[in-house]
């Protein structure tokens, strides 16, 4: 006689439960993969705009344009005149170095330009990454110079000064950034 496993027996139910679990797991993995892949395709790859002192990472050309306008006071298409855009950024960095009288060798800082401010700080410097993150729709030349001051200070000294000392020096830059232009 042949053994016949009825679907309502214990072993038949266990087999169906295992198959159902496998099918649900496979369906879940396919769903997660498709959601993850679609979210990756929506995110733009960052573009890099290089100056003498910076690598500026941005995903939206409008955000970079807004950043350049807000630190330079004039709207222009940076693609048409990249030298002017680079000089605006490097001019502020040179000015910060002059005010602090600190000119670190091979100074370089990464700048991450975000398009829309949501909450928190408008800009901040990370010594760990040697990077400045800023929001293009809120930045000013003074705020940018303040964060550059932190980068210059941390790059200049062998032992990084305390945050309090950095802040005192960065505020000195705030006060004297364009003072000899008055």
pLDDT of residue 77: 74
The CATH architecture one would assign to domain 47-181 is: 3-Layer(aba) Sandwich (3.40)
Question: Are 87 and 169 in contact, with CB atoms under 8 Å apart?
Answer: no
pLDDT of residue 34: 57
pLDDT of residue 79: 75
Contacts of 5 (CB under 8 A, 6+ apart): 11, 12, 15
- This prediction has a pTM of 0.74
Pairing of strands 123-126, 54-58: unpaired
**What value does the CA radius of gyration of the chain take, rounded to a whole number of Å?**
27
Residue 154 to residue 97: CA distance in whole angstroms: 12
pLDDT of residue 20: 67
Report the residue count for the chain: 182
Domain ranges of the chain: 10-43, 47-181
Contacts of 154 (CB under 8 A, 6+ apart): 125, 127, 130, 160, 161, 166
Residue 34 to residue 49: CA distance in whole angstroms: 32
Question: Could you read off the pLDDT tens digit of each residue along the chain, which spans 182 residues?
Answer: 555 555 556 666 566 676 767 776 666 666 655 555 444 444 568 899 999 999 999 998 899 999 999 998 877 777 788 898 899 999 999 999 999 999 999 999 999 999 889 899 999 999 999 999 999 999 999 999 999 999 999 999 999 999 999 999 999 999 999 887 65
Distances (CA, A) of 104 to 53, 96, 97, 114, 156: 11, 12, 8, 27, 5
pLDDT of residue 82: 87
Residue 57 to residue 15: CA distance in whole angstroms: 54
pLDDT of residue 41: 41
């Amino acid at each position: 006689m042949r053994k016949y496993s009825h679907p309502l027996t214990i072993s038949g139910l266990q087999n169906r439960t295992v198959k159902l679990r496998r099918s649900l797991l496979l369906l879940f993995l396919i769903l997660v993969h498709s959601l993850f892949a679609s979210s990756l395709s929506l995110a733009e790859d960052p573009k890099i705009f290089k100056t003498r002192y910076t690598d500026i990472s941005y995903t939206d050309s409008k955000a970079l344009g807004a950043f350049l306008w807000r630190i330079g006071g004039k709207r222009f298409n940076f693609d048409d005149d990249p030298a002017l855009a680079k000089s605006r950024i490097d001019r502020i960095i040179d000015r910060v170095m002059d005010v602090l009288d600190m000119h670190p060798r091979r100074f370089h800082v990464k700048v991450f330009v975000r398009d829309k401010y949501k909450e928190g700080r408008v800009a901040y410097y990370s010594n760990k990454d040697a990077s400045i993150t800023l929001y293009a729709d809120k930045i000013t030349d003074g705020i940018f110079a303040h964060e550059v001051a932190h980068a210059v200070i941390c790059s200049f000294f062998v032992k990084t000064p305390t945050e309090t000392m950095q802040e005192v020096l960065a505020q000195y830059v705030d006060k004297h950034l364009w003072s000899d232009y008055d």
